[in-house]
């Protein structure tokens, strides 16, 4: 099938590349001319394992193309995906201006019937808004053309996006018409060989499914962080508690790792947007609000531990703190809402210098903060430790999991590890004379 994808970001690019890889003829269109030029030069603007190969392969076959030409993009296909950003507006609600701008372009340019598929995460009722926008623009042109609007939210995880897209747990298709349902069935057929993964529902339920999924995952994280904070005060070990509760299949081991709070481009904004939806309805949703409150507080806990260790925030001036990992999670260079940002900004406010190492997110960090004397990027994880007063693990990249502790000792000015991901063994570090402060576990001092 011929498909057009509006937006060549994390979701649009992965969607386009994977749909091309199963045989569709895909054109990705983006308003960011620089991004499109890079893609046309064979560069991948984001770090996503496996994506380069798929993009390269399909570019060479001619099954995946990139353009900034909106008219060409609308004309290219009968099925048009919207995968543009939906950032929070000032009130925390999802800002639909990019989604509606695409709907407007499609309405202005379409010359034959289209199926418009919303892949962006959008509040309940957005399919209706896109439908009205299209009708309105077509009416202003005095044109009558059939179109369908489908809600097809995306559940891929950054860092595993290609795998997730190619082997989805489920594909949600929210539509009110049989025609759109058949089109979507055909389009996703290659992903359905093993078993039917498509769940059909109405568009409002599909839209809510996406928010409910992200809000529940965020709830699990805030819940375990809440328990971790209690464990610290009670002299319990959250890792024992985590294993103890995860063994119950009704709870499971997934997504109950304590840490520095969730970040990224989805959970924070989606929890906020769901809360905003509730407010707009006049419905009090205290659980959703608490998930966000707990998370915001959790992002500040590591700074509190560091400040306490050094005798107060006012004693951090002139200290050098090494930070291992900047991205909001491993295998991505995405820094949006990363807990590392809350930490390094607090360290800077106290006059500390940060020496950071992240396998892929340093260019993005430099883009965000620019060059500043209190941020030094190290070429590798050990160099980041040279002369530092402590190291903080912010992201559990594989290469941080089993470091050479003797080498760390040689490099650091003092044997102090703050572990925001609980990846080291307190017993081991106690034996070797480290000060080791983690999340929800008794400190090793
Ligand atoms: P992104 O910021 O990486 O990409 C959005 C792209 O859309 C940008 O390249 C931007 O230039 C482009 N764009 C904006 N207006 C446009 C227009 N009128 N026409 C064409 N292109 C336009 O965003 P993302 O992370 O890919 O997220 C996109 C949507 O998918 C959001 O709603 C997000 O919530 C949702 N989502 C994201 C993830 C994720 O892990 N990133 C997962 C599932 C769902």
Q: Which residue has the tokens 């050094």?
A: 310
User: Per residue in 308-360, pLDDT tens?
Assistant: 999 999 999 999 999 999 999 999 999 999 999 999 999 999 999 999 999 99
For residue 98, the CA-to-ligand 1 centroid distance in Å is 9
CB 184 within 8 A of CB 196: no
Report the residue among 48, 84, 271 best suited for mutation to probe ligand 1: largest number of ligand atoms under 8 A from its CB. Answer: 84
Q: How confident is the model at residue 180 (pLDDT cuts 50, 70, 90)?
A: very high
Q: Which residue has the tokens 């006049």?
A: 282
User: Per residue in 370-422, pLDDT tens?
Assistant: 999 999 999 999 999 999 999 999 999 999 999 999 999 999 999 999 999 99
- Checking if the pLDDT of 239 tops 90, the result is yes
Mean pLDDT, range 152-179, rounded to an integer: 96
Listed by start position, the domains of the chain span 2-201, 236-437
Which H helix or E strand runs over 353?
Answer: strand 353-357
Where helices occur in 153-285 by DSSP H, the ranges are 161-166, 178-187, 203-234, 238-246, 267-280
Q: How confident is the model at residue 193 (pLDDT cuts 50, 70, 90)?
A: confident
Order of strands across the sheet with 2-6?
Answer: 64-67, 25-29, 2-6, 79-82, 114-118, 147-151, 171-174, 198-201
Q: Distance between CA 110 and CA 274 in Å, rounded?
A: 33
For residue 182, the CA-to-ligand 1 centroid distance in Å is 26
Topology of domain 2-201 in CATH is Rossmann fold (3.40.50)
> pTM of this prediction?
0.95
**DSSP 8-state class, residue 444:** B
Distances (CA, A) of 390 to 130, 275, 409, 416: 52, 38, 10, 5
Kindly provide the ipTM of the predicted complex, given to two decimals. 0.99
In whole numbers, what is the pLDDT of the chain averaged over residues?
Answer: 97
- Checking if the pLDDT of 22 tops 90, the result is yes
User: Per residue in 49-91, pLDDT tens?
Assistant: 999 999 999 999 999 999 999 999 999 999 999 999 999 999 9
Distances (CA, A) of 63 to 24, 28, 73: 7, 11, 14
CB of 84 shorter than 6 A to ligand 1: yes
The pLDDT, as a whole number, for residue 194 is: 86
- Checking if the pLDDT of 262 tops 90, the result is yes
- CATH code linked to domain 236-437: 3.40.50.720
Equal CATH topology for 2-201 and 236-437: yes
């Amino acid at each position: 099938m011929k498909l057009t994808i509006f937006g060549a970001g994390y979701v649009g690019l992965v969607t386009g590349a994977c749909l091309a890889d199963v045989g569709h003829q895909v054109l990705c269109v983006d308003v960011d001319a620089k991004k499109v030029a890079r893609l046309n030069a064979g560069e991948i603007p984001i770090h996503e394992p496996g994506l380069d190969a798929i993009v390269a392969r399909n570019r060479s076959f001619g099954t995946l193309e990139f353009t900034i030409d909106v008219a060409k993009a609308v004309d290219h296909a009968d099925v048009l995906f919207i995968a543009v950003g939906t950032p929070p507006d000032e009130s925390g609600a999802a800002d639909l201006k990019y989604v509606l701008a695409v709907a407007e372009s499609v309405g202005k340019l379409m010359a034959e019937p289209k199926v418009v598929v919303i892949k962006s995460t959008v509040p309940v009722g957005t399919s209706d808004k896109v439908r009205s926008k299209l009708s309105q623009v077509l009416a202003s042109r005095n044109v009558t053309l059939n179109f369908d609007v489908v809600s097809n939210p995306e559940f891929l995880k950054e860092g595993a996006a290609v795998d997730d897209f190619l082997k989805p747990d489920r594909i949600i298709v929210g539509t009110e018409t049989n025609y759109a349902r058949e089109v979507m069935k055909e389009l996703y057929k290659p992903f359905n060989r093993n078993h039917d993964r498509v769940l059909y529902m109405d568009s409002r339920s599909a839209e809510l499914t996406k928010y409910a999924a992200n809000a529940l995952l965020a709830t699990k994280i805030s819940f375990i962080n809440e328990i971790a904070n209690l464990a610290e005060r009670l002299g319990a070990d959250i890792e024992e508690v985590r294993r103890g509760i995860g063994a119950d299949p009704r709870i499971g081991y997934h997504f109950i790792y304590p840490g520095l709070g969730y970040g990224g481009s989805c959970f924070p904004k989606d929890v906020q947007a769901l809360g905003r939806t509730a407010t707009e309805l006049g419905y009090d949703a205290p659980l959703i609000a608490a998930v966000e409150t707990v998370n915001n507080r959790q992002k500040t806990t590591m700074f509190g531990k560091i400040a306490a260790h050094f005798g107060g925030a006012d004693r951090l001036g002139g200290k050098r703190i090494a930070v291992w990992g900047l991205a909001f999670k491993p295998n991505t260079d995405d820094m949006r809402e990363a807990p590392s940002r809350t930490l390094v900004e607090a360290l800077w406010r106290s006059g500390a210098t940060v020496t950071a190492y992240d396998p892929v997110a340093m260019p993005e960090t430099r883009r965000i903060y620019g060059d500043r004397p209190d941020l030094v990027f190290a070429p590798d994880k050990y160099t980041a430790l040279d002369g530092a007063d402590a190291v903080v693990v912010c992201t559990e990249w594989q290469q941080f999991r089993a470091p050479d502790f003797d080498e760390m000792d040689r490099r650091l000015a003092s044997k102090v590890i703050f572990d925001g991901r609980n990846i080291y063994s307190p017993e081991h570090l106690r034996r070797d004379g480290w000060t080791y402060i983690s999340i929800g576990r008794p400190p090793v001092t």
